[in-house]
Structure 1
Amino acid sequence: MRENKMAFDLIIAQEQNSDAEQYRKNQMNEKQKNNELKKTKAELLLKELKERETNRRDEDVALFESDKMELQKITDEIEEYQKNIKAEARTAREKLQKVIADNQESTSRYNEIRRVEEQEEAMMTAIVAETKRTLAGMRRLKEIELMKAKQLALEAMRTKVAVWPKKESGWTETDMQNAVETKEKRYQDGLAEKKEWAKKRTDYMDDGKRLWVKETARQQRQLAQDHELEAKRLEREKRLLIEFAKLREKTQIETINQIRSQLDQQCNDKTAAVLADRQTDINHHKMIEQLWFEEDKEFVTYARNIIEKKKLDGNPIKPLLKTVNDYLKKNNLYIDQVNKVSKKQPKGSIYTSRIIQHTD
């Protein structure tokens, strides 16, 4: 009986070993098929990712070239705008220099006119003073000469009267006095006439001087008005130049802000496109992981059915359990309390350029 039992146990052990060997072979074949399937899927996925990467690289290159051309265009526009601004600034500077030169020339001309007028006025004053002194001296000399002539005439008259024949009644002192008075009257009349002519000449010179002073004052007023108008014109041109500089600065700031806004918008659009592509890759990877997880659940279900069958047949199931546990551990799976296959939660996430990979 013992030998029969040992033989029976040996047969059972051989059958179990044969079943385990067959199970291992089936497991290896299934694993090989799964590996080949996963390899094929991975190759397809890798090929698709490479194609998408190539397309995206081509799109990035095209976008880069387009952005480069756009930036070059903007740079050319900025350079052209700067050239125009420099030309306008140079024109404005030349105009301002011309205005300053004209102002300096006008000021110099005005100062020269003032200097000439002052010289003429000083010369006229000196001439008038010298003329007055000369006339006063001549008047004194003339009066002295007249007094001498009067004395000589009086002496000559007395001499003539002394040698004249006497009238019948005789020359009285009254006759002599009358003759002297007559002579004096003629002299005084001539002197009055000369004074009248001298007065007329003085009045004529005074009128000329007043006219000259009036004309000088008119010219000075005209020069002052011209100077005031020139100052107003310079002030107006200065204000226009300041307004032009402010407007040019405002235009430059607006252009720079517009270019900056365009570049920011392009960067935001590119960032949004990259994020959208990354999210698409993540969703695709999640779909592949879900397919793998479904296959893992199917395999675990199949293995559990085999284990239950072997358990009912009384065959050993430790090798099968060990194989299933190794498979679960290798593929990051576990069986919860309700005998449901679940995936372990990763401790963290590793972000690559395209796909998020989870690690324990």
Structure 2
Amino acid sequence: MAEVAFEQVQKSFGAVQVLKQIDLKVRDGEFLVLVGPSGCGKSTLLRALAGLEGVTHGRILIDGRVVNQLPPKDRDIAMVFQNYALYPHMSVRENLTFALKLRELTPTEIDARAKEAASILGLGDLLDRYPRHLSGGQRQRVAMGRAIVRDPKVFLFDEPLSNLDAKLRVQMRAEIRALHQRLKATTVYVTHDQIEAMTMADRIVVLNGGVIEQMGAPLDLYDDPDNLFVASFIGSPAMNVFSGRYEQTADGARVRIGDFALPAPTVHAADGMPVSIGVRPEHLQLAEAGLPFVVDVTEPTGASTELFGSIAGQSCCVIVNGRAAPQAVSAARLSAAVDHIYLFDPDTGRRMR
């Protein structure tokens, strides 16, 4: 496999700069996920790596070789798309072997690679079927098989699960992750779904507006976000963010939301300074004393219950383990531990530490 590097990569479409100074290394054998909202530049970055888009500035390296001027076929990459991109008039076997025939490999080697890919992906009984006879998940397996048979240095996935239903997405997430653990291949995976990113990645790169907001292991980003964008984007349901003020008292730091206050971590901030206060839904606890919480909607999910309402007129979500939870009431109270409260500068969005 190979290491991938982006060095000062920029990309503009006319006057619109889509990628702004991207510096990133994908380690040999790593499963790296690019995640972010629509328009953040993640697919453009992947397409630049694949050779489907040129870059305005900077270098892209695969295995130490600059590939900016190389066509896609010479970059030794394989790409799996959102829409499968299978040849409808070809059987599964023919779809798997088509690129190998273009390379003029021997029939023996072509057959061996096709059988190996079919075995890995459980396609052995489907080799003579056509794409129209396959389910969405089976088609996606064929698309992955077509990438596997090429034995590339780098695998690229561009939102491959977007067309699948919820249950099948969960199944395919596990299959793609298991495939990576088996092949140990360098993989760059693009998605807008942060749950996919959290469950699949060795490392996540969060993009926003063409810049890297933060990168790191999934739980590092979840537990220690650098800014308000990452804190709000990573996690489902999203982190609660309240407007409030930071206070220094004889008993320690506090944050005030409306007329009520919670203990807070000590940060470099002036007394009375406006702050954005972040608390994840699972870290807010129903309590006898604390912030008054008006519950508007109760959503049981089985193992837990999600409560939606407001604190001091600001939207709030709380996750309660189990099924016992208050209905639409006005007397519920919430508390949170100090180490589960995050403070952000409301002007810059940067984490206050």
Asked if TM exceeds 0.5, the reply is no
Bin of the TM-score, shorter chain as denominator length: under 0.3
Please give the TM-score of this superposition, normalised by the length of structure 2.
Answer: 0.21
**Structure 1 length as normaliser, TM-score?**
0.21
Greater strand share, 1 or 2? Answer: 2
More helix, by proportion: 1
Larger Rg: 1
